[in-house]
Structure 1
Amino acid sequence: MRTETPWGPWEPPPLPEAVRLLAALRSPWWIAGGYAVELAVGRVFRDHGDIDVLVPRDAQAEVRRALPGWDWWAADPPGTLRPWHPGETLPAAVHDLWCRPGPDEPWRLQFMLDEVDGGDWVFRRDPRVRLPLARLGRRSPEGIPYLAPEVQLLYKSRTRRPKDERDFTEALPVLDDHARAWLAETLALVEGADHPWAARLRTLLPG
C-alpha cells in the first residue's frame, strides 16, 4: 500500500521481505504496529501504510549497519524529520527512524527505539510500566518475532484512531486473562481508570 507524506511516499515491502531485510540484526527486534496485531490474530484484516519495527535504543548503530547504504532520517523533534548522520548517537528524545534504500526511493521501514534497563523493557510514556524482555514479544508459526498484542495495544491506546479501535477489537479474543488483566491495569495507571478499553477489558475478566 502506497501512502503520501510531507516527506515523500511510503511503500512498505511485503512482510516476508521486511523480515529478510532484518535477518542480519543480532539485537532483539519485534515487528510492531498493526502487523503485530495481525500476527497475533493469525490473519490479515486491514491495509497498512508502513511497517514498524521495535528495537532497543542501544541497538541503533547495529540497525544502521544491517542496512548499509540506506538513507536514514530521525524524527527529531517528533513530527518532523532530519537526516540521521553516520556515527551519530541519537538523543533520548528521538524514538522513530525512517529509512529507504536511497533518497529517491519511497520510505520502506520505520524503526522505533525503546528503552531497556537491566533486562527490562521500559514504557517510554511512563517508566513505571516495565516488562522483562522475554515477555515483550511472541513468535508467529513462521518464526517472525512480534510485539505482544497487549503491549502494542498499550501504545495505541492514547490516539484510538479508527484503525487502532479495529486492532483492539480484533485482538481482544486472542488475549488470555493474564494479558487482559495486565492491559486493563496498565491502562488505568497510564491513561486513567475510565479509559474505555480498560472498562471493556474488565468486563471480560473472571470473577
Structure 2
Amino acid sequence: LEEAIAAAESFGGDVVLKATATSLRHRPDLAHVRRNIGDEVDMYAAWANLNEIIDEPDLAGFVVQPMAKPGIPVQIGALEDPLFGPIISFGTAGPLTELLGDVSYRIPPLTDSDAADLVRDVRAAPIFFGYLGSPAVDVASVEQLIQRVAILKDELPEVVQLDLSLVMAGVEGAEVLRVIGRIAPVREARSDWFARRLTGPVSAEDTLVT
C-alpha cells in the first residue's frame, strides 16, 4: 500500500489502481480496476476495496498508472502461425469481441492500405468514425501502431506472440495501456510456400512501410 501511495504521488495524482494477474483480466464479472484516485484517501479506499473482492490479493499484481485519456479500447495482436508465419489481428477490446469473433486479420508486410482495411473490416468499425454523434477517434494513429507491430513481427520471428491487449484509441492519438509478449527460439526458417506476400498488386497510392 505504501508503494502504491508513493507511486501515485510521483505521478501527481489522478491515477488508476489495477490488478494485472492473468486470471483476473478476463473476468467481466469482476471489476479489478479503480479509477480517478486523486489522493492518499482515495488510494486507501481503492486498495481496501480490491483486497476485499479479490480472492488472493497477494497474487493480484497491483500496479499504479496515470489515468488514460478517454477513448475506445482496442486490441492489436501478433502471433507466429506454424503454417502462415506472422499474423496481425485487430479488434475492439473486451469479452464481447471474443464472444462475437469480431476480429480482422492480415499477413505482414502491411501497406498503409492494409492497416486501414484491418481497422475497417471489423463490424464495430463505425464506432471509430463518429457513430451516432460520438467523437471520431484518431484512426491514423491506430493504423500507424498496427504497422509498427507488423514490422516488428515480420522482422523478428522469435517474438512468437505480442498482444497489445488494451490500446485506448482517442481523438488525439492512441495510447498503449497493456502489453503481453512471448519470445521463443526460432527452430526453422519461415516458409514462403503460403501467402506471406501481398494478395494483390500495389496501387500507385499505396505505401509499404519497412
TM-score range, shorter chain: under 0.3
The TM-score with structure 2 as length reference comes to 0.27
Q: TM-score normalized by structure 1?
A: 0.28
Structure having the higher Rg: 2
Q: Would you tell me which structure has more strand in proportion to its own residues?
A: 2
